[in-house]
Amino acid sequence: MQIDLQVRKTRMSETSVLVAKVATMLEMQNEMNSRVDINWIDKNREWYRAIWIECAELMDHFGHWKWWKHSSTDLPQVVLEIVDIWHFGLSLKLTQSKNSSNLAEEIASDWNSQVDDFEFLDGVEKIALDALHNKEFNAALVRELLLKCGADFNTLYRNYVGKNVLNLFRQENGYKDGTYKKIWNGEEDNEVLARLMLDMNSDSDSFVTEVHKILELNYPSTG
């Protein structure tokens, strides 16, 4: 009985961490979208369309579907494409939610829900079809795609936070008016970010702030 109780406590703790991290991502997504357009939620934009288009890009990076030519899987890029889909999925969820305070719990529950097993490319098509036919986003399908890449929720969270902070940093430094430097001393900013984050602790309460700070410290000066 004591063992069962400990298992339940562990599961409750894991769920609480999951919900808290989803809530952080939702806040960050809203902040990023608001930076581009303060009234973004009221615009009712076609986030579902962005999802299925990203699915096509994901399939290209995964490869193995063009039977007429050789292709291989670019695994790091596959994970980044899944993270991009997650960005758009969160945006869609935020526009559809009638109770934003419960949204993190809803997404966490969806993440843990069961789905039938599938081949990777079939799973990508399931996400695209759900977006096209139902204008919906299924977090459990994203979980399964990541698992097939040897990744998990922590991988998603780490990469999401990094990319979101980078997107915000770009906006703060002239991305919209064309003055932002995307190449940092011969290296693209995405690559710089990935390298800088290698030794960072994504479970730290100050992770978001630390990522932003390290980008500021490494951004090439205008001089």
Which residue, 191, 163, 180, 193, is CA-closest to 220? Answer: 180
pLDDT at 3: 52
- d(CA 135, CA 83) in angstroms, rounded, equals 19
More confident of the two residues 10 and 206: 206
For residues 148-165, give the mean pLDDT.
Answer: 94
**R_g (Cα) of the chain, nearest Å:** 18
**pLDDT class of 39 with cuts at 50, 70, 90:** very high
For residues 161-180, give the mean pLDDT.
Answer: 91
Q: Looking at residue 39, what DSSP letter applies?
A: T
pLDDT at 8: 42
Give domain limits for the chain: 20-218
- d(CA 163, CA 167) in angstroms, rounded, equals 6
For residues 152-163, give the mean pLDDT.
Answer: 94
CATH class of this structure's domain 20-218: mainly alpha
Strand (E) positions, 12-168?
none
pTM summary value: 0.85
pLDDT tens, position by position, 48-95: 999 999 999 999 999 999 999 988 998 988 998 999 999 999 999 999
pLDDT at 97: 87
pLDDT tens, position by position, 124-145: 999 999 999 999 999 999 999 9
3-state DSSP percent of the chain in helix, strand and coil, to 5? 70, 0, 30
